[in-house]
Amino acid sequence: MSTGMITNSNLFSLSSLVAAGRNQSDLSQSINRLSSGLRINTFMDDPSRMAISEKMRGFILGLQTSSQNAQDGISYLQTAEGAANEVSNMLQRMRELAVEGANGVYSANDRLEIQKEIDQLKEEIDRISETTQFNTKKLINGESSGAWNSGTDKISAVINGTVADGNYDINFNVKPGQNQVQSTQIFTLREGKLGAYVGSQGTTNIGQVSNPYNIQDTEEGSYSVTIQNPTDGGAAGAQMSSSMTFINSYQKNGSNMAFGSVTAVTTNESGYFMIEFTENSTNAAAGAGYRVKFISAENGEEGQWLDFTSVNGKLQGSYNSNGFNLNFEIPMLAGADTVNDGDKFLFSVTDSKGVANDDNLIANGGGALQISHNGVQGPVIVYNQPDSLTKPDDKDGIVDYNNVTVHTVTLDSKTGTFNAGEITLGFKENTGAAANGQTLSGTATIEVRKGGKAATSTTKLSELANFVDENGVELFAVTQELKIYGNNKNTTIYLEGDDTIQDVVDKITKAITQDLDMGSGLTEVDKKLISFNQTESTGFGVVPGTMILQSALTGKDGELSFIGSQKLMDALGLEVVQESSQNIQTITAKDNLTGVISGERVTSNSRVTDVIPGVDLIVDTRTGVDAYYNTGTGKIDFKPSSRLENQNLNLHIVDARTEIQIGTEKGEKLDVSLPALNTAALGIGNTNINTQDDAQRAITEIDNALTKVVSTRAKIGAYINRLNSTINTLATAEENTTSSESRIRDTDIARETTAMTTAQVAYQANIAILAQANQIPAIALSLLQA
């Protein structure tokens, strides 16, 4: 191309400028790539490869996060493994103690001390199970696998693995087993002690009798207690007159004294009138010295001995002492008036105050009572104050007694000893609408036993021969501790010397029904679980003086185990009189959401497996079973329940497994399910070494628990090993993907340096040529200047 010499357009400069711009752009790109290290900095650099690189970068970040997730998962599992290791160590110690307790050289005291450590270890296992957590997430109490709830306490669940969400209907068809029954040895009264009980209540409201002191036993005849309501008249009538009745006498050899009809007038008290002659006389009718004394039957207060002299064939006078006023007149029979110093006579005295027959007193527990023995009537004691015998029902649901102490005096016809004694009658509150607060008329019989005979329910523990050793040392000089195990729980009761046998019955009943939750929930059954046999009866009550102990649960779950000091256990002498047997139950579980039966099982175990996946059902042995007291046999029997709520139960299961995200995509996760490792789940809630047999069973129970813990730890170890492998795999994938992404996006420094040098040289040449091109118009201008 040729051109003329022009000055308006510098075509040579423009051509150089375009080339310089192109080289400048190449140089700028090279500098940008070298400074950033990236071949592709923006999408306009290479759109398709930039898209591939961004996807790879997201994948790499996902791999890095997944690796961190796996690391966190390992930490999570290592926390659980550490806790499981401690549980394992404690189980090993428990097994060591169980083997030690199985040795016959140990006493109950020794086992009691060993058991204390076992109890503490069980509590610590439960504490570790409940408190071990990672980032507030519980690990080994079952919550890391699943959750459950039920509308009843008859069934519970132990999460043992992976579970599925569901509402399950649990149906029970049960063939009941039987409960274990234990009996104590015969409790006998110590020498010099007395026991009393109500032989027959009759129509009265005398429900119990206690504290017999210095009265005659009833081997030769019972005491009868006649009770009269104010409406009955007679002994309790408003117009009752005073009287004096001969009871007994003591006469020495040669004495011959007999009395005719006796009259007496007293205005303020019923009680006993004692006479003792103070001189010898063959003609006492003409005059003989004697003294008299009065003792109140109502409160036991005594007057003083006062001296008198017989006159005109009579013992007569006015006795005034300590507030007691008695006018007496006792005629001697003709020809029967020979006495000796020390001859004694005893009379009962009934006062004349009577009982007012008014509506207020009738409705509020007044009345009168009279104790008779072997046909000899004691004084009639009048109670004319409201609530003096019977108190109204206080509506507390507990049968209360108003204790009324009656004082007695007997005269031993062989030794001439006056014996002042007493006995306490318990008047039961009446709950009927018509009888509430009223004393009921009738005759009750009272039996009194002496030392060496079977005790009664009101006998104090300190009065039992069983609790005194051969050296006379009393066991209850100090409080005794009795620990009771059952239903995966334990409780402790404390026994005092002043506790009666009935107190012990009440304490154990409360411990079993409330503390251990081993009652039936039915009062008529629960009050028969612990009973004391005062007399021979049916069932297990054939031996008087024994205590029967049982729970309302069948099978092994209903067994009771007791431990205390060796002396206490020896004195109780517990033995099994009826072995327990398991319920045979058919259990069906149906998922209400799908209608599918998840499992069915026939088993005798209260812990049921393979009915709901990942769940062990712990079934209360009362489920599907009703307990009732068989009055014919005197035993507690069991029958299939007719109540719908006792046959069909619901259980709601929620899948709460821990999911560890170990990949970059949806679903790339590791499901971790850890079972509960508490005492209930491990089956050691009832484990004890109270006896050698218990210790032998404990070894097996602890071995089974160890097997479960070992299996869990192995499972945790497998999880950890898998996560370690996952981390290695993720690292390899990250390395390879990073390398691939680098080849796409990173700058080749050598090549880019060469390109930059080329562009730089070209650009410099462009600048030099541009300078030359800019000189061409000046040449044309020089022609004009010339």
- pLDDT confidence band for 234 (50 / 70 / 90): very low
Mean pLDDT of the chain: 87
Per-residue confidence (pLDDT) for residue 527, from 0 to 100: 92
Residue type, position 115, single letter = Q
| Cβ contact 306:292 at 8 Å | yes
Written as six digits, the tokens of 700 are 């097996």
Tell me whether strands 607-612 and 155-159 are parallel, antiparallel or unpaired: unpaired
Whether 151 has a pLDDT exceeding 90, the answer reads: no
- CB proximity list for 8: less than 8 A, separation 6 or greater: none
Distance, in Å, from the CA atom of 156 to the CA atom of 142, rounded to the nearest integer, reads 13
pLDDT tens digits for 25-43? 777 777 777 777 677 777 6
Instruction: For residue 605, count CB atoms less than 10 angstroms from its CB and return exposed for 0-12, middle for 13-18, buried for 19 or more.
Output: middle
Provide the β-strand partners of residue 302: 295
pLDDT tens digits for 361-375? 556 788 889 999 888
Per-residue confidence (pLDDT) for residue 116, from 0 to 100: 92
Distance, in Å, from the CA atom of 170 to the CA atom of 524, rounded to the nearest integer, reads 29
| Cβ contact 168:598 at 8 Å | yes
Which CATH code is given to the segment(s) 38-145+659-746?
Answer: 1.20.1330.10
Per-residue confidence (pLDDT) for residue 122, from 0 to 100: 95
pLDDT tens digits for 52-78? 877 888 888 988 999 999 999 999 999
Give the mean model confidence (pLDDT) for residues 656-661.
89
Give the mean model confidence (pLDDT) for residues 656-679.
90
**DSSP-assigned states of every residue in 119-151:** HHHHHHHHHHHHH-EETTEE-SSSTTTEEEEES
Give the H or E element holding residue 640: strand 635-640
Per-residue confidence (pLDDT) for residue 402, from 0 to 100: 92
**DSSP-assigned states of every residue in 527-551:** TTTEEE-SS--STT--STT-EEEE-
Written as six digits, the tokens of 675 are 């079972």
Whether 738 has a pLDDT exceeding 60, the answer reads: yes
Nearest to 593 by CA among 163, 108, 164: 164
Give 239 or 740, the one with higher predicted confidence.
740
Domain boundaries, the chain: 38-145+659-746, 181-189+464-578, 241-352
State residue 660 phi and psi, 5-degree precision.
Answer: -105, 115
Per-residue confidence (pLDDT) for residue 356, from 0 to 100: 53
Say how many CA atoms lie within 13 Å of 157 toward its Cβ: 30
Whether 180 has a pLDDT exceeding 60, the answer reads: yes
- CB proximity list for 16: less than 8 A, separation 6 or greater: 766, 769, 770, 773
Give 285 or 14, the one with higher predicted confidence.
285
| Cβ contact 521:507 at 8 Å | no
Give 453 or 642, the one with higher predicted confidence.
453
Distance, in Å, from the CA atom of 500 to the CA atom of 406, rounded to the nearest integer, reads 20
Provide the β-strand partners of residue 48: none
Distance, in Å, from the CA atom of 273 to the CA atom of 348, rounded to the nearest integer, reads 6
Per-residue confidence (pLDDT) for residue 2, from 0 to 100: 52
Distance, in Å, from the CA atom of 306 to the CA atom of 86, rounded to the nearest integer, reads 84
Per-residue confidence (pLDDT) for residue 769, from 0 to 100: 78
DSSP state of 339: B
Nearest to 186 by CA among 481, 452, 426: 452
| Cβ contact 649:155 at 8 Å | yes
Per-residue confidence (pLDDT) for residue 146, from 0 to 100: 87
| Cβ contact 257:284 at 8 Å | yes
Per-residue confidence (pLDDT) for residue 237, from 0 to 100: 43
Per-residue confidence (pLDDT) for residue 239, from 0 to 100: 40
Nearest to 280 by CA among 305, 316, 313, 253: 253
Distance, in Å, from the CA atom of 336 to the CA atom of 326, rounded to the nearest integer, reads 25
CA distances 672 to 300, 383, 523, 541, Å, are 79, 78, 47, 56
Whether 646 has a pLDDT exceeding 70, the answer reads: no
Per-residue confidence (pLDDT) for residue 11, from 0 to 100: 67
Give the mean model confidence (pLDDT) for residues 122-145.
93
Whether 235 has a pLDDT exceeding 80, the answer reads: no
How many residues appear in the chain? Answer: 786
pLDDT tens digits for 251-279? 999 999 999 888 777 767 899 999 999 99
- CB proximity list for 277: less than 8 A, separation 6 or greater: 284, 288, 289, 290, 339, 340, 341, 342, 343, 344
| Cβ contact 542:531 at 8 Å | no
Whether 447 has a pLDDT exceeding 80, the answer reads: yes
The sign of the torsion formed by the CA atoms of 207, 213, 218, 222 equals negative
Written as six digits, the tokens of 23 are 């080289």
Per-residue confidence (pLDDT) for residue 366, from 0 to 100: 84
Per-residue confidence (pLDDT) for residue 236, from 0 to 100: 43
Nearest to 156 by CA among 651, 521, 552, 557: 651
pLDDT tens digits for 588-611? 999 888 888 888 989 888 888 888
- pLDDT confidence band for 515 (50 / 70 / 90): very high
